[in-house]
Structure 1
Amino acid sequence: MVTGLTDAGWALFAPEKAVSDWAGAARAAALERVRDPEEQARSLTCEGTWFVGVDCLPNDARGAVGQSGPLCGAALTAAQRIYGQIPLHRAQVSVIYPGYPRPRDGEDDAAFRYRLSRDAAHVDGLLPVGAGRRRMLRERHAYILGLPLTGASPDASPLVVWQGSHHVMRRAFAGALGGIDPRDWGDVDLTGIYQAARREVFETCPRIPLAAEPGAAYLIHRMALHGVAPWGEAAEAPPEGRMVAYFRPELQDIAGDEWLRLP
């Protein structure tokens, strides 16, 4: 069991050579995708300061990309020990550039202020649905695994996580979803519950920036509130930006209540 993941909602793993080698191969493959005009049209937003890169990395179900071999390392081992051998999807390649954030396409003033002042903090899998953009649980992730692909200074838009926020969120979601067939959870409007829980998190949970170098990894609880900090005035990163690969494999059984359980 990873104590940090259970108690704090996150765990940072020290650099390992095998992970560093994987990150080098993944970076080379990711750069090809990031530079592809069609991928740029799909993924580049926030006035050119964020490449979203969902499903961008051409890895297989074991995480192998190019000549890297399967993804390994302490972080993935810890996740698999807790959640089992879930196949890996094509990783997101999130790239942040100097000047982030700028308003995202279609983002109104209130949403941009939230991005700027609250790091666009969110829980993954609660997607905006319909014209009213009501938040519903449409993706049930097992965990979030972040793997830096480029070096950058700690103030170069690091991932931030609110420590212990997964406990607040779990209580809120359990109250809203308890007694409802898990197969129907995706149709429950969680907007009000979600917004109230976020306010509680901002008032009670410390905000922790997680900066790491290639070869390191961070494991985040699926219900932890997290986001991306603004680019610091003195931040430094290579020309290709601050690049991180994220795996969020989805739980296989939506008929059970596993998503609501800890860790």
Structure 2
Amino acid sequence: MVGDWHRFEADPGLAAWARAALPLAIEALHNSEEPRRCGGTWDVGLDLLPNEPDGSIGGVAFPWAALGLTPQPLHRAQLSTVYPGYPQPSDEETEAAYRFRLTRDAAHLDGLLAIGPDRQRMVKEPHGWILGIPLNDCSADAAPLVAWQGSANILRAALLAAFGDSPPEQWGDIDVTAAYTAARRQIFETCPRVELPTRPGEATLMHRLTLHGVAPWAKGATAPAEGRIIAYFRPVMGSVQEWVGV
């Protein structure tokens, strides 16, 4: 992958996988007991898709070759599902968090978790890559994926500075909140924001250090009754040192 992401054009293997996954995804979302967030406009859908560890689903093989990826064990995909009106205010997040979701697409770096009462940001889930496969056909303005071009290099430099001279085996326990916040501010000021809508048969592969988020649902955007569904895979890496690319 060159740059922060690669968008794959329509491929028969990707299309077949999406067709096989869609009815199982709709069933899994229907049976999920996890409440919707953002005023009922977002299903997180974590680990909901019943794909096999090799990525196959409904007897259809995962399109490793089309994606240029080396086969490896996969977790059950997240089914990030967005509905008309996203985002809406909700009791589970502050007004500031809602504004950030509305005006900055809830921009974030996967792998960072808020730890402890002070919600210190630490690298606890170092993923190898982030792959999004759309399962149904929606208009391009139906809450598409958003990414910031050039953000990966800025975040890598900021994290390495935060880790300092600490041994790599301790990097996952270092509070990187200040460095991450400053880097994100720099990215907003200097990096182009790019919307990355996709249709079934396509996919988006993002570099693991890319700042990304979800755009608000535009007025007049269209999607099927089940909402806009994207299946996400993020296989875990062996260490934070490998994740940050050292």
The TM tier, using the shorter chain, reads over 0.9
Please state whether the residue corresponding to 2:64 is helix, strand or coil: coil
Of the three residues 217, 241, 245, the one matched with 1:257 is 241
Q: How does 1:1-263 map to 2 (within 5 A)?
A: 2-3=1-2, 7=3, 9-36=4-31, 39=32, 41-75=33-67, 77=68, 79-80=69-70, 85-251=71-237, 253-254=238-239, 257-261=241-245
Instruction: Provide the identity percentage.
Output: 48
Equivalent pairs counted in the alignment come to 246
Please state whether the residue corresponding to 1:102 is helix, strand or coil: coil
State the shift of 1:72 in Å: 2.9
State the shift of 1:63 in Å: 0.6
State the shift of 1:61 in Å: 1.6
Deviations 1:16-74 (A, max 9, x none): 111101001111111111111xx1x3152112100000111111221111222234342
Q: Give yes or no for contact 2:55–2:74 (8 Å, CA) kept in 1.
A: yes
- Return the alpha-carbon distance in structure 1 between the equivalents of residues 151 and 220 of structure 2: 29
Q: Give yes or no for contact 2:152–2:210 (8 Å, CA) kept in 1.
A: yes
Q: Give yes or no for contact 2:171–2:241 (8 Å, CA) kept in 1.
A: no
- Return the alpha-carbon distance in structure 2 between the equivalents of residues 198 and 121 of structure 1: 8
- Return the alpha-carbon distance in structure 2 between the equivalents of residues 87 and 179 of structure 1: 33
Q: Which runs of 5+ in 2 are unaligned?
A: none
Q: Which runs of 5+ in 1 are unaligned?
A: none
- Return the alpha-carbon distance in structure 1 between the equivalents of residues 166 and 58 of structure 2: 44
State the shift of 1:131 in Å: 1.6
Residue identity matched to 2:60 = S
Please state whether the residue corresponding to 1:46 is helix, strand or coil: coil
Q: TM-score with structure 2 length normalisation? A: 0.96
Q: TM-score with structure 1 length normalisation? A: 0.90
State the shift of 1:186 in Å: 1.9
Residue identity matched to 1:219 = L
